Structure 1
């Protein structure tokens, strides 16, 4: 049989389905808005009202950290099940719709929780369900976007995360009461997520997988062999460390303002939080979109990931001294948030494109992406425990109340280490 001749070099790469990227970006925006608005201030304000400022760091660490553990488990499992799904509705759609539905109900329960134990249960349910949807939605990029376009698509989709943070921060500052602060973002997620799922040209399995589903295969959802795929391993570890550092400021900004700057009023905390996140998002969106496009044109990923990590490390190092700058401290924080957005934009623009190019198996895309996304969710679990239960209390006790500065300094070290580890990736540029 005659083989078809190779495509000429000038032939453009295939395109994603019409409107897919726009709908994916909006769907991801809705989901990020729903789960990040509480992380960016909604939970800390709720917990301050329940237990007071002194106990808030540890209780916030308990609630957000345990919830992130549920996210850690849910995403790889959902990815594995999504890859095997033979539903007539598609491989990804059932997980997107089901995850968003449970997430929305759980967020309403968070708002109504009268104490920390019930808040903990509701938040764990919200995080687990959200990451079921994230696992399936993230796999659609590998399903439908060709390699040559993934940098620009990752830049666009990556930009919706900070936009979700910014809009969520604004909603937190203007919506009265916990119910609206949790329920309005959840409603937006339902509308945009369902729209994306309804219009998704989903893959449909015509036959079930050859291998049966058992406990061993489920446990393998959480692992890969770094000896066989070392570059994927280095990409995973780099992402993990940078994400561990990046989330340090956002998760504890409101409590930092109260403890170090005397900003006791929660309304004032949320307004400053909205302004800071607005500045960070503005620069992040520009850096993400521009960085993703430039990365595609020059055909390089690693310099953008490294550069983003180094910028974030420098910003977090300077944050540690802002409480000692007097009246200039708050203004300096706002400037640093803007610079942090530049670094984060460079990182988010191409990090996913780099990692997708290193996936161990094209037959287990969602499963491998689930493993990769542990590098996103595990830091979100470890960070609150490290900060609220260990670093901040120890720093306050041993360094005369400098616990928050110690935490941000440690976060700078994480970002620096993650940036340097990118140099160990050999099969990508």
Structure 2
């Protein structure tokens, strides 16, 4: 369906009912090329926040405030943040769906959230209590989930279906590349791992505190500005407008799984896979310290090295599998293979609780996660209920990323209390496998 404007009526005055809004995806911009670079770059900046703060700066700050590796305090700070993140994604997603500007629907929110998120990161750098840390991390996650909701909508907005596998892989690079940057800059890597002296990166701990927050804040703002400048969106002022209704706005967040079962199963599948991943990742630093018994002075470099190994393997698998998925036109086999491989990888440190076992886990687990990330966005994009609501629907789906951040700290805490750190691995393996199996009922995707 196409819409033409009445004569002498400017775009800003066009009003239509929601039922009249087009379901067809917007026309793909002629210049798709720059998006190959800017979209993964913007995602790297986003995941530098999640990985750099969540895996490094937050645990370090908790230890500085409490004086110990306090898993309860870490869980409290992480949970407060993740609750607000869950709200932020669909709210900002729907706001961007409704935005009409000469810069497009998404760009204003990407820039706004990047600037506000950077300010919130600077504020978090000065949090002096667990309560303040939890609330400031919550504000950061709420705002940056607005950035994420608008950014992820770029794929259904602007990428043709034949390129979904390739762009899913490119978007998926955000996790491993963000991890690599965080690990190198904040943690550092032992040079001995590569036959060299000293520590590669790390910068003497210069960024393992306030400076780390400042650096990440700058990177987020720069990445957002590059994205909207180098790969600008289409002018959205001529798109039809909906009459605003608070009741309809709130009701629109609900996607009935009976009406859209594929969307529901895709949501549950991602929730399971990400929860299995987060159960181990949430306590990764404490797991190395308390379970693997890494010496305190070696903890950050060791974690940094293992995270880089995991990330490199993820990048390799993602870049290889994305184009293959496009070529064969199938997604389900890759999701199932990744779930099975992730479960098997988690068995390794369970039976081999050493640094070598953790290295093997990160190699195989990284490859498995790379396969999943290569096709995850392709799967999600194909089951969206309405492309006109892509921002909101992607925001709802992204709850399956934020939800595990809420659940994982509490679940992991229960597991450690009941069975010790070694019990984290079999539980995470079972959850990841169940999540991967959740893709089987999806009918629209092969």
TM-score when normalising by structure 1: 0.89
Q: Does the CA-based 8 Å contact 1:16-1:144 persist in structure 2?
A: no
Which position in structure 1 is the counterpart of 2:358? 333
Structure 1 segment 93-132 matched on structure 2, within 5 A: 93-132=107-146
Q: Does the CA-based 8 Å contact 1:16-1:146 persist in structure 2?
A: no
Closer, same or farther: CA 32–370 of 1 in aligned 2, 3 Å: same
Which position in structure 2 is the counterpart of 1:185? 216
Q: Deviations over 1:138-165 (max 9, x none)?
A: 1011111000101111101211221101
Tell me the distance in 1 between the aligned counterparts of 2:403 and 2:83. Answer: 7
Tell me the distance in 2 between the aligned counterparts of 1:427 and 1:188. Answer: 38
Q: Does the CA-based 8 Å contact 1:231-1:358 persist in structure 2?
A: yes
- Structure 2 residue aligned with 1:417, among 420, 428, 434? 434
Tell me the distance in 1 between the aligned counterparts of 2:274 and 2:36. Answer: 24
- Structure 2 residue aligned with 1:372, among 387, 397, 406? 397
- Structure 1 residue aligned with 2:53, among 21, 33, 38? 38
Which position in structure 2 is the counterpart of 1:7? none
Which position in structure 1 is the counterpart of 2:22? none
Instruction: Note the residue ranges of structure 2 that are not aligned, 5 or more in a row.
Output: 1-27, 188-201
Closer, same or farther: CA 207–294 of 1 in aligned 2, 3 Å: closer
Tell me the distance in 2 between the aligned counterparts of 1:83 and 1:14. Answer: 18
Structure 1 segment 251-400 matched on structure 2, within 5 A: 251-263=282-294, 265=296, 267-323=297-353, 329-388=354-413, 390-395=414-419
Shift of 1:411: 1.0
TM-score when normalising by structure 2: 0.86
Q: Does the CA-based 8 Å contact 1:75-1:131 persist in structure 2?
A: yes
Shift of 1:253: 1.2
SS at 1:103 equivalent = helix
Bigger fraction of residues in helix = 1
Residue 161 of structure 2 is aligned to residue 147 of structure 1? yes
Q: Does the CA-based 8 Å contact 1:40-1:165 persist in structure 2?
A: no
- Structure 2 residue aligned with 1:242, among 268, 273, 290? 273
Q: Deviations over 1:199-235 (max 9, x none)?
A: 33324132562342314422432x2111111111111
Tell me the distance in 2 between the aligned counterparts of 1:207 and 1:14. Answer: 15
Tell me the distance in 2 between the aligned counterparts of 1:210 and 1:108. Answer: 37
Shift of 1:286: 0.8
Tell me the distance in 1 between the aligned counterparts of 2:267 and 2:364. Answer: 25
Closer, same or farther: CA 59–322 of 1 in aligned 2, 3 Å: farther
Q: Does the CA-based 8 Å contact 1:168-1:185 persist in structure 2?
A: no
Instruction: Note the residue ranges of structure 1 that are not aligned, 5 or more in a row.
Output: 1-12, 324-328, 396-401
Q: Deviations over 1:220-251 (max 9, x none)?
A: 32x21111111111111111000000122222
Tell me the distance in 2 between the aligned counterparts of 1:86 and 1:217. Answer: 16
